[in-house]
Structure 1
Amino acid sequence: MTTMSLSRRHVMSALAASLATPYLVRPARAAAPLRVGVPIWVGWMPFWVLDKKGLTAKHGLDLNLIEFPVQTDARQALASGNLDVCALNTADVVVVDAEAPLAKVIALTNASNGADIVIARGVSTLADLKGKTVALEIGSVSHFFFASLLAKAGLSEKDVTITNMSAQDAGTAFAAGAIDVSVTWEPFASQGIAAGGTALATSVDTPDLIIDLISARSDVLETRADEVKRLLDAWFEALDFVGTNKDEAFAIMADHSGVSVAEFEGMWSGVKMYSRADNIALMGAAGAPGAYVGAVDATSAFMLANDLVPSVVPAAEIIDPALLA
């Protein structure tokens, strides 16, 4: 394993048709490592448990886990073919597939339940943001999250000035006092709160809006489905390890996050992790699409309405649970 760091229509009938033809599982192992992008996010830290506990070897995988401090860089790497698989969120895959059907959602990792945060000083409500400068990563899930919060408050992006920063930089800039409002996620949000910021809003206020996932390129699924399936098996085994060996798993994930175990536990409470059974229920099966279909459609429609994508992307073009069984 090599680790590299670089600087997160007719739906029912179409989805049923797509689910009816799962990928052929090929037993041959590819010579090149499977390139897996992992942006820095609390809900994806089990990838490093997978790495540290030898699950790559156990599942016969040759992985190149590539960490991305900037999530949009990971999304672009998947779209350009520089990654085979990537941890992203629903909004990211909608952006990738808005131009061409390049990627599929093959598993859901978690829902954000408080770990995406608007941190602020000097304001007490979202309505108070009018006329303020806000740091966030344009085109990322933070942008989507913030736009939805503004809409709920009766505001739009025209009412604020947005400064483009990665989630990591937005948290750091807020902690340093360089900016008074930042939209970021854990583990970066806690830096700002520790520096005196207030959580003006969190993803608790937008239930089921931010769903994180594992996405794979469609061409990779055509040729390397067996490897990708084994990656999912290793991921779910890592989640099981977190549940049964909490102390060791949290020590691994906290160390990789650069925080204490106690701090990481607080961050972990802000995500709802999805088991394999959760995935099968949410993503559905042939003839019985799950609730995630509605989440994709709502995300796509919202992003189109807010000029974040050029066109709606049907859920049937994105969801593919064929490798979950």
Structure 2
Amino acid sequence: MTPDEPATLHALRRRQVLRSALAAAAPLALPAAPAGAAGANKPLVVGGLPVTCNLTLPIACQARIAVNAKTGAGPSPFAYAKFSGWPEVKESLMTGRIPAAYMLAPLVMDLVDSRIPLKIVSLGHRSGAVIMVRTDSPARSFRDLRGKSIAIPSRFAVDYLFLRKMLARAGMSPKDITLIEMAPPDMPAALYARAVDAYCTGEPFGAAAQRAGYARPLAMTRDEWRNYICCVLTVREDLIQSNPALVQDLVNHIQAAGDWLDKGPANRDKAAQIASSRTYFGQDPKIIKFVMDNPEDRVTYGDLRLIRAEFDELMQLSVEAKTLKRPVAYERYVDERFYKNIKPVPIPL
């Protein structure tokens, strides 16, 4: 921006650059409008983003569809709805437009602290966040990002807490960089267009740019924060009260999907094909497969335990980051009964 250029004009030009770069830089489908909330004779709608941290959700939905088709039980009792960013998921869950979604764990804590009736009932993944820079970037450590712009999905995202951890190890803080909140699907294009110097998010939006050849990981949670969790299955309390059996069925399938995903590369290959369809992520299956293979534990799904100490750590880190105003009691935002009563279900995919 030149000294004479108004900030609004600069912002407009930046958006134009991002739009023009999006098709070339990030071959990921734009999110479809989400479906409405569950009603009579309609499936339970579960919202999610097209990120591999949410991959257990499409697998659970597709498995339930397959079981019902085989047994003649009719349509699946739950279905996936794709959102483009966390603000949209948050608003839809708050207003009851959807009764369930994969959500950012610290955001659930904050909403519950604001008396929004929500409960976390399952994890969705382990690891899966990356911090990406351009391949031609001189940055080899986080000290090299001083004064640079870094995109994050949300200040409530655990990706942001991961970034804070890495900055702290380098003797830095968020004051040493410029933070930009951005929907994950827009991040590869922003890096390609040099609108940001780096971005921190869940996959496959790191892999998309890496596979295209113009970005490389500066850090991965698999190397730096092994028990990292971010996206959690969250349901409204009125759904728990009105239909606990349906919530249990959903949790059973999410947990089974996690086990199935970690059983081997053949299942992960199938998962990439399923999730890439327009029904779910609407992405190039080669990009999702790249996440599954490079390396194979870039995201993991087999350990979806609800562990109080891990949530307490996230809460404390969020309080330190000032994304939470105060600590929130574990029992206020987690309902363990469904995890404790998991029953094995088939994943016939």
TM-score normalised by the chain length of structure 2: 0.73
Partner of 2:107: 92
Amino acid at match of 1:186: E
Partner of 1:288: none
Structure-2 change in CA distance of 1:150 and 1:102 (3 Å): farther
Structure-2 change in CA distance of 1:297 and 1:52 (3 Å): closer
Classify the secondary structure of the residue corresponding to 1:96: helix
Query: What is the percentage of aligned positions where both structures have the same residue?
Result: 19
Measured against aligned partners, the alpha-carbon deviations of 1:183-227 in whole angstroms (never above 9, x if no partner) come to 122111112323332311111312323343211112221112111
Structure 2 CA distance, aligned partners of 1:86 and 1:177?
Answer: 33
Structure 1 CA distance, aligned partners of 2:88 and 2:333?
Answer: 20
Q: Confirm whether residue 273 of structure 1 aligns to residue 301 of structure 2.
A: yes
Structure-2 change in CA distance of 1:51 and 1:180 (3 Å): same
Structure-2 change in CA distance of 1:254 and 1:152 (3 Å): same
Structure 2 CA distance, aligned partners of 1:272 and 1:239?
Answer: 8
Q: Confirm whether residue 79 of structure 1 aligns to residue 98 of structure 2.
A: no
Amino acid at match of 1:44: N
Partner of 2:151: 135
Measured against aligned partners, the alpha-carbon deviations of 1:111-144 in whole angstroms (never above 9, x if no partner) come to 11xx211112221111221111112223233323
Structure 2 CA distance, aligned partners of 1:56 and 1:312?
Answer: 42
Aligned partners of 1:56 and 1:63 also within 8 Å: no
* Aligned-residue CA RMSD (Å): 2.7
Q: Which runs of 5+ in 1 are unaligned?
A: 8-28, 284-291
Deviation at 1:174, TM superposition (A): 1.1
Structure 1 CA distance, aligned partners of 2:167 and 2:113?
Answer: 24
Partner of 2:15: none
Structure-2 change in CA distance of 1:180 and 1:192 (3 Å): farther
Partner of 1:12: none
Deviation at 1:303, TM superposition (A): 1.0
Aligned partners of 1:38 and 1:44 also within 8 Å: yes
Structure 2 CA distance, aligned partners of 1:233 and 1:304?
Answer: 32
Amino acid at match of 2:337: A
Structure 1 CA distance, aligned partners of 2:44 and 2:332?
Answer: 23
Deviation at 1:88, TM superposition (A): 2.1
Partner of 1:322: 337
Aligned partners of 2:272 and 2:285 also within 8 Å: no
Structure-2 change in CA distance of 1:30 and 1:223 (3 Å): farther
Deviates more, 1:216-225 or 1:169-178: 169-178
Describe how 1:1-325 pairs up with structure 2 within 5 A: 5-6=32-33, 31-53=41-63, 54-55=65-66, 57=68, 61-100=76-115, 102-112=117-127, 115-120=128-133, 121-139=137-155, 140-193=157-210, 194-203=212-221, 204-239=223-258, 241-242=260-261, 243=263, 246=267, 247-255=269-277, 256=281, 257-260=283-286, 262-266=289-293, 269-274=297-302, 278-279=303-304, 282-283=305-306, 292-324=307-339, 325=341
Amino acid at match of 2:159: S
Amino acid at match of 1:210: I
Partner of 1:10: none
The count of corresponding residues between Structure 1 and Structure 2 is: 286
Structure-2 change in CA distance of 1:217 and 1:37 (3 Å): same
Amino acid at match of 1:249: A
Classify the secondary structure of the residue corresponding to 2:150: strand
Deviates more, 1:190-199 or 1:300-309: 190-199
TM-score normalised by the chain length of structure 1: 0.78
